[in-house]
Chains A and B, each alone.
Chain A
Amino acid sequence: MREYTASLKREAERLLSEGRVKTVIAFGPGIDPLAPIPAFAEDKDEASDLLVNAFSAPGLAKYVLDEVGGVEKPEHSVAVLARGCDSLGIARLIADKRVQRQSVVILGVHCDGVIDRGKLLALNPAFSRTKNIKSVAIGEDEVFVEAELADRSAVSLRGRPEDLLLDKCLKCLERDPVVFDIMLEPEAGTMLGRETGPTPVGDRGGVDQGEKEKSLRARRSLVAETEALSSESRYEFWARQFERCIRCYACRNVCPACSCRKCAFDVPDPEWVSKCTWLSEQFMFHFLRAFHVAGRCVGCGECERACPMGLPLSLLNDKLMKDVEEMFGIEDPHVPKESEPLGFYSPDDPEPWAKEVSEG
């Protein structure tokens, strides 16, 4: 990822000083250089702490709902940093009428992927003592990270994207925001806090159709793999996943498509899903979650990233996304649209199951 922090700070300071927004949502340093944290700047000082880099893992879309969502006329506006996935989430909230478009200023930024801290540390635990990230380059086939450690020594690593990037970034559908107000400019020639250094292994930038196709293929092939399982093995697979779920609802709470005022899982009567984690309830929970985002999931992968128990939630989402794509002939089913295939009445809806039943 190129260096965008400078222009982020500049825009944030400008928007705040002009009074256009009350808050700018981006990232702040946090205790761990490998894990920037979501940050909310409200004045010049705070704006000067903002950053975005190749380790900024959390999605930011959901905060827009927290800050200005759910009301007709929010008292003020917010600005939010948005990579492709963030922008999809924001578009989702807008399409679901939970956020008003005019109450959010979207600071778009191109993204080449985010490094998975866990994967990096597994490859070289020394990075856990990172004081300062010196350089990052993310290329088509290679990722390079160099850091300065607490004892001033340097450590670097070169690896394949699949071994270093977040899973969700390996399946990224939009590297550039689908909706934005201001597109942040990268600092000329700089790579993440470094003036000179190793030539970036691949400096992409711009929309890359081929990249998207690759991601789609990756998603489809994972879905196809599960579809190919016998129903018994498929049941066994999902039962194992669902059994492991601790129902912390991180997946739901980070999801930009889960924006209800009161989630069905929190409604006491009727009790759609009990707090009891019996397998039947686990299935019910996961079916409900998946179906409630069906046709609306933007494929941002936040649910899977947030899940502490490693459930392959994207697999479920992608399966439904694929069905929507195929049954309704929807192009780019992850992009929120004016009218969603599952969101209107049509007497000619496809009903493949009805066909299956009638054909025996």
Chain B
Amino acid sequence: MKRIGVFVCWCGFNISGTIDVKAVASALADHPGVVVAKDYKYMCSEPGQAMIKEAIAEHRLSGVVVAACSPSMHETTFREAAQAAGLNPYMLEIANIREHASWVHPDDKIAATRKAIDLVKSLVEKVKRNEALEPIHVPMTKRALVIGGGIAGMQAALDLADGGTEVVLVERDSHIGGHMAQLSETFPTLDCASCILTPRTAEVGRHPLIKLHAYSEVAEVSGYVGNFTVKVRKKRTYVDWDKCIGCMDCMAKCPKKIPSQFERGLGIRKAIGVAFPQAIPYRPVIDRDACTYFKTGKCRICERVCSVGAIDFDQEERVIEEKVGAIIVATGYDLAPKAKFGEYGYGKIKDVVDGLEFERLNSSSGPTEGVIKRPSDGKIPREVVFIQCVGSRDVDKGNSYCSKICCMYTAKHAMLYKHKVPDGQAYVFYMDIRAGGKGYEEFVQRAVEQDGVLYLRGRVSKVYEDDGKVIVRGQDTLSGENIEIAADMVVLATAIEPQRDSRNLAQILKIGTDQYGFFNEAHPKLRPVESMTRGVFLAGCAQAPKDIPETVAQASGAASKVDVLFSKDDLVVEPLIASVDEAICSGCMWCEPICPYHAIEPKTIEERVGKKSVARRVASVNAGLCQGCGACSVACRDGAMNLKGYTNQQIMAEVEALCL
């Protein structure tokens, strides 16, 4: 016999101001199966909880319904109280009569009260069919994978490793550091980027708990939180990195020069070598597309000069498997390609550069050794126009979002230019200035006031080349004047976009992206570093455009989330997951592709039919992966799939109670 207790909360005036709580309690007292119904001013308070606990003992309650606020507020509170009183916590349900009744019907007290009674009755009918459930324990591998070795990935890896967790760091490029390695100085302090970055990259490189796979990509991820199996594809470097001692004789002797990607085409590199002198790992890679040997079958100079015989032209791609319990995705961003912007010359005008190119031109280790020279003829530009919001906040170009950092780095660029070319003129076309952040507004003001950067509010309509000049036409919307500037160089603050292949990675990781391809966080406010898939976390620009401090903060946040996960002995999962009635299941596997979390797999069971034993396929749910969304249970035609805590029976009972 079911013995249900009902506890109606006033929530001060929040509920009792609209709902006749006494009437609710007395209506429920007459409901079949209810043995006690009480009301109280604040059920969540200590005395309120004590009232529930006492009633559980006194009336030997088999189930409890608390009529109060949203279960997202106090479900845990009350379930813990029930547990303390010896009742399985899953035998307690919340009827939300605040958000669902008193708050939404403040003007109709009678109807609100009637609705509250119905809601509570429906939960009573549900709780009659509740089952005692126990949390599920799943063992886990306390080892983390970090994808992307930019500042975000490095920070997360170091935080975890310093805390004693083994980390596998997979970087697609031949070196770590990401975009930060390309920056010259950084706002708002204008300290040199490599000065703060290289100690980090070096630390990552030598950390005993960090296993770095550079020049590698994640090919496949299977499993679930606590138990991922990751296939890492190690691309062909044509150099045996274990043998190589980093002497770079090969690089010195290689006769083939090619434009350097790291220098964004503004400098050159060799067909074999590292991208920049401080690269970690300091190991060379042969660019197969450029290498003379691969093109003509002749050369192999590097092989000859290598004293340790590390060059291996026949190297095969390798796929290795790593077992990890959590994944941090820190794959960063790309800049919108200049070719997208017809009004700025489709990237064909040499002296129209993007932000990262400007960073390289300004970098002391860059192609011009820190002297700002324009690419076309190497002259020092006298007039430089900076254009903000190129491709950002621009629905026509597909990005309606703000790239967030361009205001800041443009001010930085203009300032750095003025510092190096004090008699030059810097113009900035902007829509408005967004300089939220500690010391940021001051930074921009300094550019205007101390360095005399000319800020022009307005859009540039056209940029074209004329007689060695780059003509910039636009409008100052403040004065309404049309402006034409004959500049020596133009710097475009092109939009921060997701990595081109981010959707592909999202698919591998089974996480979501937004319409642009940035990875989706589980909750924009409350769970900003988690993805929708348990055990997969996000850091840095891969989630949304952000600057370094924010990137680092998010990376540390992600690392600590992993630490929290790993702090338990094993994985404890809520028992509110799907379960299969194998006697009914037809093994049609309709549920399998329906599951957004890939938690369902076929399995074969043996069963006796008459005197024979036959094998039959049924669905099985992986408790570690199932998030209890219920999609499978809805899709299962014969009702073999049921969601614990929300079984078909429970939901039907609720609906019937509401419809009665």
A/B contact in complex, CB under 8 angstroms: yes
> Which chain A residues have a beta carbon within 8 Å of chain B's beta carbons?
70-73, 96-98, 259-264, 267, 269-272, 292, 339, 343-345, 347
- Knowing A97-B617, A339-B593, A345-B594, the reply to whether A270 touches B639 (Cβ < 8 A) is yes
Say whether A345 contacts B631, CB under 8 Å: yes
25 contacts between A and B (CB under 8 A): A70-B587, A72-B615, A72-B616, A72-B617, A73-B615, A96-B586, A97-B587, A97-B589, A98-B588, A260-B586, A261-B584, A261-B585, A262-B640, A264-B638, A264-B639, A270-B639, A271-B652, A272-B639, A339-B593, A344-B593, A344-B594, A345-B593, A345-B594, A347-B512, A347-B596
Q: Is A70 a contact of B586 with CB atoms below 8 Å?
A: yes
Contact A270/B652 with A98-B588, A259-B588, A261-B585 known, Cβ cut-off 8 Å: yes
Given contacts A260-B638, A343-B593, contact A97 B512 (CB under 8 A): no
* B613-643 contact mask (Cβ, 8 Å, vs A): 1 or 0: 0111100000000000001000101111000
A residues less than 8 Å from B583 (CB atoms): 262
- Most B CB contacts (10 A, CB to CB) among A72, A259, A263, A267 go to A72
Is the CB–CB distance between B638 and A261 below 8 Å? yes
- A-chain residues with CB within 8 Å of residue B595 when the two chains form the complex: 345
- In the complex, how many angstroms separate the beta carbon of B125 from the nearest chain A beta carbon? 12
**Contact, CB under 8 Å: A96 / B616:** no
Contact assessment for A267 and B639 in the assembled complex, using a CB-CB cutoff below 8 Å:
yes
Chain B residues with Cβ below 8 Å from A347 are 512, 596
Question: Would A96 and B649 be within 8 Å (CB), given that A70-B616, A345-B596, A345-B631 are in contact?
Answer: no
Give the 8 A-B residue pairs with the shortest CB-CB distance, closest first.
Answer: A344-B593, A260-B638, A72-B615, A270-B652, A345-B596, A261-B586, A96-B588, A292-B637
Mask of B262-276 contacts with A, CB within 8 angstroms, 1/0: 000000000000000
Is B648 part of the binding interface, using a Cβ–Cβ cutoff of 8 Å?
yes
Q: Which residues does chain B contribute within 8 Å of A263, judged by CB atoms?
A: 638
Residues B637 and A260 in contact, CB atoms below 8 Å apart:
yes
Closest to B615 in A: A72
Give CA–CA (A344, B589) in the complex, Å: 11
List CB contacts (< 8 Å) of B128-176 with chain A. none
Cβ–Cβ < 8 Å partners of A96 in chain B: 586, 588, 590
Q: Measured between alpha carbons, how far is A73 from B616 in the docked complex, in Å? A: 8
Instruction: List residues of chain B with CB within 8 A of the CB of A272.
Output: 639, 652
Give B207 Cβ to nearest chain A Cβ, in Å: 38
Instruction: Give CA–CA (A70, B614) in the complex, Å.
Output: 10
Chain B nearest CB, measured from A101 CB (Å):
14
Q: What's the tally of chain B residues with a CB closer than 8 Å to chain A?
A: 28
Whether B315 sits at the interface, judged by CB under 8 Å, is no
Most buried by B among A271, A345, A347: A345
Q: A267 and B588: CB pair below 8 A?
A: no
The CA-CA distance from A261 to B604 in the complex, in Å, is: 15
Q: Which residue of A98, A259, A260 has the most chain B CB atoms within 10 A of its CB atom?
A: A260
Query: Which residue of A is nearest B612, CB measured?
Result: A75
Q: Which residues of A contact B637 (CB under 8 A)?
A: 260, 264, 292
Among residues of B, the one whose C-beta sits closest to the C-beta of A261 is B586
Closest Cβ of chain B: how far from A206's Cβ, in Å? Answer: 34
Report how many A-B pairs have Cβ atoms within 8 Å: 68
The complex places the Cα of A261 from the Cα of B615 at a distance, in Å, of 14
Task: Give the CA-CA distance A73 to B640 in the complex, in Å.
Answer: 22
Nearest Cβ distance between residue B646 and chain A, in whole angstroms? 12
Q: Which single member of A71, A98, A269, A345 contacts B615 (CB below 8 Å)? A: A71
Within 8 A of A (CB), among B507-542: 512
Contacting pair A270 B648 (CB below 8 A): yes
Complex contacts, B653 vs chain A, CB 8 Å: 270
A175–B585 Cα gap in the complex (Å)?
34
Distance between B625 CB and nearest chain A CB, rounded to angstroms: 13
Closest beta carbon of chain A to B613's beta carbon, Å: 11
Contact A71 B614, beta carbon cutoff 8 Å: yes
> Are A262 and B588 in contact (CB-based, < 8 A)?
no
Give the chain B neighbours of A98 by CB distance below 8 A.
586-588
Q: Output the nearest chain A residue to B584 by Cβ-Cβ distance.
A: A262
Point out the residues of chain A lying under 8 angstroms from B615, CB to CB.
71-73
In angstroms, how far is the closest chain B Cβ from the Cβ of A188? 43
A261–B616 Cα gap in the complex (Å)?
A: 11
A81 to B432, CA, bound (A): 74
CA distance A275 to B584 in the complex (A): 20
Smallest beta-carbon distance A286→chain B, Å: 15
Docked Cα-Cα span, A263 to B586, in Å, equals 10
* Chain A positions within 8 Å of B596 at CB level: 345, 347
What CA separation (Å) do A73 and B614 show in the bound complex?
8
Bound complex: CA of A13 vs CA of B653, how far in Å?
56
Instruction: Tell me which of B583, B584, B585, B649 has the highest count of chain A C-beta atoms within 10 A of its own C-beta.
Output: B584
Residues of A within 8 A of B587 (CB): 70, 97-98
Q: Is the CB of B512 within 8 A of A267?
A: no
Tell me, in angstroms, the Cα distance from A262 to B583 when the chains sit together. 9
User: Shortest Cβ distance from A167 into chain B, in angstroms?
Assistant: 27
Pick the most buried of B512, B594, B595: most chain A CB atoms within 10 A of its CB.
Answer: B594
Contacts of A260 in B (CB 8 A): 584, 586, 588, 637-638
Complex interface: chain B residues within 8 A of A270 (CB) = 639, 648-649, 652-653
CB A324 to nearest CB in B, in angstroms, measures 15
* Alpha-carbon separation in the docked complex, A251 to B466 (Å): 79
Residue of A nearest to B604 (CB): A72
B594 proximity list for chain A (CB < 8 A): 343-345
- Contact A259/B586 with A72-B616, A264-B639 known, Cβ cut-off 8 Å: yes
Instruction: Output the nearest chain B residue to A347 by Cβ-Cβ distance.
Output: B512
Given the complex of chains A and B, what is the CA–CA distance between A101 and B649 in angstroms? 36
Report chain B residues within 8 Å CB of A292.
637
Nearest chain A CB to B521 CB, angstrom units: 15
Q: Which of B590, B616, B638, B640 contacts A343 (CB 8 A)?
A: B590
A271 partner residues in chain B, CB cutoff 8 A? 652
A272→B594 CA distance, assembly (Å) = 22
In the complex formed, the residue of B with least CB distance to A263 is B638
- A259 CA to B587 CA in the complex, in Å? 11
Q: Give the residue name and chain of the B residue nearest to A69 (CB).
A: B586
Residue of B at shortest CB range from A293?
B637
Q: Closest residue of chain B to A288, judged by CB? A: B637
| Shortest distance between the CB of B258 and any CB in chain A (Å) | 41
Smallest CB gap from A262: residue in B: B584
Q: For residue A267, which residues in chain B have a CB less than 8 angstroms away from its CB?
A: 584, 638-639
Bound together, the chains give a CA A339 to CA B590 distance in angstroms of 9
A292 to B638, CA, bound (A): 9
Contact residues in A for B586 (Cβ distance below 8 Å) = 70, 96, 98, 259-261
* A269 CB contacts on chain B under 8 angstroms: 649
A159 to B649, CA, bound (A): 55
Which residue of the partner chain A has the closest CB to B597? Answer: A345
Roughly how many angstroms separate A343 CA and B588 CA in the complex, as a whole number?
A: 11
Contacts of B590 in A (CB 8 A): 96, 343
Q: How far is the CB of A164 from chain B (nearest CB, A)?
A: 37
Q: When chains A and B are docked, how far (Å) is the Cα of A347 from the Cα of B639?
A: 24
CB-defined contacts of A259 to chain B, threshold 8 Å: 586, 588
Q: How far is the CA of A2 from the CA of B615 in the complex (A)?
A: 42
Nearest CB of chain A from residue B642's CB, rounded to whole Å: 10
Which residues in B have their C-beta under 8 angstroms from that of A264?
Answer: 637-639
Which residue of A has the minimal Cβ distance to B606?
A72
User: Contact check: which of A71, A72, A262, A345 meets B638 at CB < 8 Å?
Assistant: A262
Chain B: minimal CB distance from A318 (Å):
20
**How far apart sit A270 and B129, CA to CA, in the bound complex (Å)?**
11
A262, B582: Cα distance in complex, Å: 11
Give the shortest distance, in Å, between A67 (CB) and chain B (any CB).
14
Given contacts A261-B585, A343-B635, 5 further A-B contacts (CB under 8 A): A70-B587, A70-B616, A260-B584, A267-B584, A267-B639
Closest Cβ of chain A to B33, distance in Å, is 17
A269-B649, A270-B648 as given contacts; A97 in contact with B588, CB under 8 Å: yes
* Minimum C-beta distance from B567 to chain A (A): 32
Nearest-neighbour CB distance to chain A for B616, whole angstroms, equals: 5
Return A260 CB to nearest CB of chain B, in Å. Answer: 4
| In the bound complex, CA of A345 to CA of B614 (Å) | 32
Nearest chain-B residue to A95 (Cβ)? B588
Q: B512 to chain A: which residues have CB within 8 Å?
A: 347
Query: In the complex, how many angstroms separate the beta carbon of B651 from the nearest chain A beta carbon?
Result: 8
